[in-house]
Structure 1
Amino acid sequence: MPKSKVRKKAAYTPPPVSRTPQKVQGPTHPAYIAVMLAFGILGLVWLVVNYLAGPQIPFMAALGNMNFIIGFSLIVIGLLMTMRWR
């Protein structure tokens, strides 16, 4: 059986580095941080109030299991906002 030919690989050359300056963004505005924290805390408070006094509050009793969706949605919005926090 004939022997297969050995292939030579080309030497690795790293891609050229771009020397153009990148704009560095500054820190996040304090109002953004306040809104981010407010969403997380409001979601947590919504869930705690639902557990402790949900049946006694008329509009929360009418929402039923939607209270969980509302509370967790508020928390998730606050967590998603952390991705843009600098």
Structure 2
Amino acid sequence: MPESRTRKSAETKKKQQATAEAKPKKVKSPGGGRWVAPTFITVGLLGVLWLIVFYVGGQHIPFMAALGNWNILIGMGAMAASFGIATLWK
């Protein structure tokens, strides 16, 4: 006795679902624009310059003298942020 049409379509639906689940879905990576490279270079250089200015003449600049050793955190934080931005680069 031949099988009914509904049974065949249910089997084909199961096969289609299995092949659709087996294929990995493509995920678009974040960032990668033209802004990333200039931004991470600029932020990193600003962090290095902040530290250099602090060590060379920080005592003579009023706002840097008021910040004290927090200037080290600001400079290192800018460099760390630069590395974080660099991870977006393709």
| The two structures share one fold, judged by TM-score above 0.5 | yes
Identical aligned residues as a percent: 31
CA contact under 8 A between 2:48 and 2:79: conserved in structure 1?
yes
Q: Partner of 1:33: helix, strand, or coil?
A: helix
Q: Which of the residues 75, 83, 87 maps onto 1:83?
A: 87
Runs of 4+ in 1 over 4 A off after TM superposition: 18-21
The answer for unaligned runs of 5 or more in structure 2 is: 1-21
Q: Distance in 1 between matches of 2:77 and 2:28?
A: 32
Amino acid at match of 1:44: V
Letter of the structure 2 residue corresponding to residue 73 of structure 1: G
- Alignment: residue pair count: 71
More helix by share: 2
Q: TM-score normalised to the size of structure 1?
A: 0.68
1:8-66 alpha-carbon deviations (Å, 9 max, x no partner): xxxxxxxxxx54573665x8222222111111000000000000010010100000000
For structure 1, the 5+ residue unaligned runs are: 1-17
Q: Where does residue 32 of structure 1 map in the other structure?
A: 36
Cross-structure match for 2:57? 53
1:71 partnered with 2:79: no
Q: TM-score, normalised by structure 2?
A: 0.66
